[in-house]
Amino acid sequence: MASIRRTLSPAYHHRSYQNGAGFSSPSHKFLPNGNSKHSSSRHLPLLFTAVNLVCRKGWRRSLCWCLFFFLIGFVFGITLFGNMDTDIRAKDFAFPELKPPHVDLRLDDQIVTSVSLGIHTRLQEPKEVDDLIGPPLKQLIVVTPTYNRGFQAYFLNRLGQVLRLVKPPLVWIVVEEKVASFETAEILRRTGVMYRHVVCTRSPSEPKDRGVHQRNAALEHIERHKVDGIVFFADDDNVYTVELFESLRTIRRFGTWPVAMLAPSKNKAILEGPVCNGSQVIGWHTNEKSKRLRRFHVDMSGFAFNSSILWDPKRWGRPYSNPIRQLDTVKEGFQETTFIEQVVEDESQMEGIIPGCSRIMNWHLHLDTSNLIYPKGWLLEKNLEITLAIK
């Protein structure tokens, strides 16, 4: 194999090379003027050294080994990465195909139309319910004075069962004297009617004043708590219809109606109350000569009034603001008319309940229970439960 030799410069005489050949920079070989910089010819000796080794040891054998290992690497790479590429495409990188959603204009129009109709229907439902229910009902405030006597439990239970049939709202104010008894409270709880158990602490000087003081205690309770509604004095020994209580809710200021009652002789019935032309009061029914001096001929259970008259006099144009109470200084039978005179001025401020006042809706029987005969061994003055508990 031919070798390339040239005379070494004096700077390289002390260096020896293999095969006794001196190797120098090829700058004079490739550059015509031989004056190039060392930085541009620094990598050329490495290239000629590699070419010299290939030519010296046999470039064919090196090329065969290079091709052999290239083929092995190529086959190994195809086998390994070919399966991996299939798995990756099939599993790991199987991204879903992103497409814009299909828009059907006709379908969208149907959806919007159905939603609009649904909202419109729901908005109308409360109105339809309100039309069926109607305006809210006025609250009824039923005042009942009671005391310990024969048939007290019967009277309270009978009245409580009637009030139970009346549509709410209704509050039953039951007034006892001195103390609220356990027996009365138990009866009121069993009726299922909303009630208030009030005690009258004022002791009456006469039996006729008992009911007057008890009703005044209820009026004071209503005025203090500003209970809004229609006040009705319902004694427990009277008989009432459910229609009467439902009719009370039509009262704006003061309402009245005729009451049927037994005469003192108990052999005939008499009528006491207003004579009406429609809902206008034009006169009064009365049969007793002693009561013809009264201004208004009404029974205690024959009228009702708005409770705001008690605690809001300016609303009704009352010239004075004195508390409205029943009087115990007047004769028996005049408590009704003296009380009504504090509420209204004349018949023009009254309303006849039931057009024409032509229907009897409650009875005043005047039952006297003081002379009731109990079986032998029973004592009216003592409570049997307390007596047995003491023994």
* Angle formed at CA 302 by CA 297 and CA 303, multiple of 5 degrees: 95
The CATH superfamily assigned to 140-364 is: Spore Coat Polysaccharide Biosynthesis Protein SpsA; Chain A (3.90.550.10)
Binding site annotation covers 299? no
> pTM (2 decimals)?
0.63
**Coil vs helix vs strand at 212:** helix
Burial, 39: exposed, middle or buried (Cβ in 10 Å; 0-12, 13-18, 19+)? exposed
Question: So what's the pLDDT on residue 314?
Answer: 86
| Rounded Cα gap, residues 72 and 74, in angstroms | 5
User: Dmax of the chain from CA atoms?
Assistant: 172
Judging by DSSP bridges, how do beta strands 303-306 and 230-233 pair with one another?
A: antiparallel
| Rounded Cα gap, residues 66 and 53, in angstroms | 15
**Which residue of the set 176, 272, 336, 351 is catalytic?**
336
Share of the chain above pLDDT 70, in %: 63
- Helix crossing, 182-191 with 152-164: angle to 10°? 20
| pLDDT over 60 (residue 67) | yes
Residue range 249-279, pLDDT digits in tens: 999 999 999 999 887 777 888 899 999 999 9
| Rounded Cα gap, residues 167 and 178, in angstroms | 32
Is 336 part of the annotated catalytic residue set?
A: yes
Bond preceding residue 169 cis, omega within 30 of 0: yes
When mean pLDDT is compared over 34-43, 78-87, 325-334, the highest value belongs to 325-334
The token pair that represents 40 in the structure block: 């541009």
* DSSP-H helix ranges across 34-91: 44-57, 59-87
| Rounded Cα gap, residues 201 and 181, in angstroms | 13
Strands of 140-145's sheet in order across: 195-200, 170-177, 140-145, 230-233, 303-306, 254-256, 351-352
> Residue ranges of the domains in the chain?
140-364
